[in-house]
C-alpha cells in the first residue's frame, strides 16, 4: 500500500476555528456596510435589502448574523462607545497628571468621532433603539461620562486643571467632541488627526490670548 493511500483525506469543510473566524469577518462586514448607510441616509431610511446588495448577498444572509436591523444599530453604537471606553481605560493605566490624561483621552475621543461607529453614536437618537438597547446605550454613555468626569476632577485636585465644576466641564468637553461627528468631512482639507489636535487644543487652552504667545 502506498504512503499516499494511508494519508488522512483532506476535508473540504473548514475547521471549527476557521468557521468562527469566517463568521466574525462576515459579521463585521455587515456592520461596516450598515453603519455607512445609517450615517449617510439615517436608520429609518436604510433597508437591509440595500445593505445586503452592497455586500453582494441576499437579505436572508444577513439574518444569519443579526436578528434584525435594530440589533445591527445597537451593535454599531456599542462599538463606537466601546472605543471610547477602551481609550479611557488605556489613559487611566498610563497615568500622569489629570491634564495629561484628559488631553490623551480627548484626542482619542475626537478621532473616534471622525470614524463610522463614533459618528453613528452621535447621530443615533434614543428613540431609534429598542427599550432594552436604549437602557444599555444610556448605561454605556453614563460610564464614559463618569470616567471623563473623574479625570477632570483629578486634574482639578492635582492643580493641572483650573478649579471648577467637573460636571459642567465634562458636559462641555464631551458635547463639543460629540459634535465633531456632525460636521467632520473626511474628504475635507483636514485629516482626522489634525481635527482632533485642533479641537483638543481649543478646548483645553481656550481662545484667550496669553502673554508671550
Q: What is the biggest distance separating any 2 CA atoms in the chain, rounded to whole angstroms?
A: 91
Helix (H), strand (E), coil (C) string for the chain = CCHHHHCCCCCCCCCHHHHHHHHHHHHHHHHHHHHHHHHHHCCCCCCHHHHHHHCCCCHHHHCCCCCCHHHHHHHHHHHHHHHHHHHHHHHHHHCCCHHHHHHHHHHHHHHHCCCHHHHHHHHCCHHHCCHHHHHHHHHHHHHHHHHHHHHHHHHHHHCCCCCCCHHHHHHHHHHHHHHHHHHCCCCCCCCHHHHHHHHHHHHHHCCCCCCCC
Confidence of residue 98 (pLDDT cuts 50, 70, 90): very high
Q: What is the mean pLDDT of residues 187-194?
A: 94
Q: What is the pLDDT of residue 206?
A: 78
Confidence of residue 108 (pLDDT cuts 50, 70, 90): very high
Q: What is the pLDDT of residue 125?
A: 85
Q: Is the pLDDT of residue 120 over 60?
A: yes
Q: Are 92 and 101 in contact (CB under 8 A)?
A: yes
Angle at alpha carbon of residue 167, lines to 118 and 198, rounded to 5°:
45
Q: What is the pLDDT of residue 163?
A: 93
Q: Are 86 and 126 in contact (CB under 8 A)?
A: no
Q: What is the pLDDT of residue 9?
A: 66
Q: What is the pLDDT of residue 23?
A: 82
Q: Is the pLDDT of residue 7 over 90?
A: no
Model confidence over 128-180: pLDDT tens digits? 888 888 898 899 899 999 999 999 999 999 999 999 999 999 999 999 999 99
Q: What is the pLDDT of residue 78?
A: 94
What is the rounded CA–CA span in Å between residue 211 and residue 208?
A: 10
Residues 6+ apart with CB under 8 A from 107: 196, 197, 200
Q: What is the pLDDT of residue 148?
A: 93
Q: What is the pLDDT of residue 12?
A: 66
Q: Is the pLDDT of residue 5 over 90?
A: no
What is the rounded CA–CA span in Å between residue 204 and residue 210?
A: 13
Burial (0-12, 13-18, 19+ Cβ within 10 Å), 161: buried
Model confidence over 9-63: pLDDT tens digits? 666 666 666 667 788 899 999 999 999 999 999 999 999 999 999 999 999 999 9
Q: Is the pLDDT of residue 213 over 60?
A: no
Amino acid at each position: 500500500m502506498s504512503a499516499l493511500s494511508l494519508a488522512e483525506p483532506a476535508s473540504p469543510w473548514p475547521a471549527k476555528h476557521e468557521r468562527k473566524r469566517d463568521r466574525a469577518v462576515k459579521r463585521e462586514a455587515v456592520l461596516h456596510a450598515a453603519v455607512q448607510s445609517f450615517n449617510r441616509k439615517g436608520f429609518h431610511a436604510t433597508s437591509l435589502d440595500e445593505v445586503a446588495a452592497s455586500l453582494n448577498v441576499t437579505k436572508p444572509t444577513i439574518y444569519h448574523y443579526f436578528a434584525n436591523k435594530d440589533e445591527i444599530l445597537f451593535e454599531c453604537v456599542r462599538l463606537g462607545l466601546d472605543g471610547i471606553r477602551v481609550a479611557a481605560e488605556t489613559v487611566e493605566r498610563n497615568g500622569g497628571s489629570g491634564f495629561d490624561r484628559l488631553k490623551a483621552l480627548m484626542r482619542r475621543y475626537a478621532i473616534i468621532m471622525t470614524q463610522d461607529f463614533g459618528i453613528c453614536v452621535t447621530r443615533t437618537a434614543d428613540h431609534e433603539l429598542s427599550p432594552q438597547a436604549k437602557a444599555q446605550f444610556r448605561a454605556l454613555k453614563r460610564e464614559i461620562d463618569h470616567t471623563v468626569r473623574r479625570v477632570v476632577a483629578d486634574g482639578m485636585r492635582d492643580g493641572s486643571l483650573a478649579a471648577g465644576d467637573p460636571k459642567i466641564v465634562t458636559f462641555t468637553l464631551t458635547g463639543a467632541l460629540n459634535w465633531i461627528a456632525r460636521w467632520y468631512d473626511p474628504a475635507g482639507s483636514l485629516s482626522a488627526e489634525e481635527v482632533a489636535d485642533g479641537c483638543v487644543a481649543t478646548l483645553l487652552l481656550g481662545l484667550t490670548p496669553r502673554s508671550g504667545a
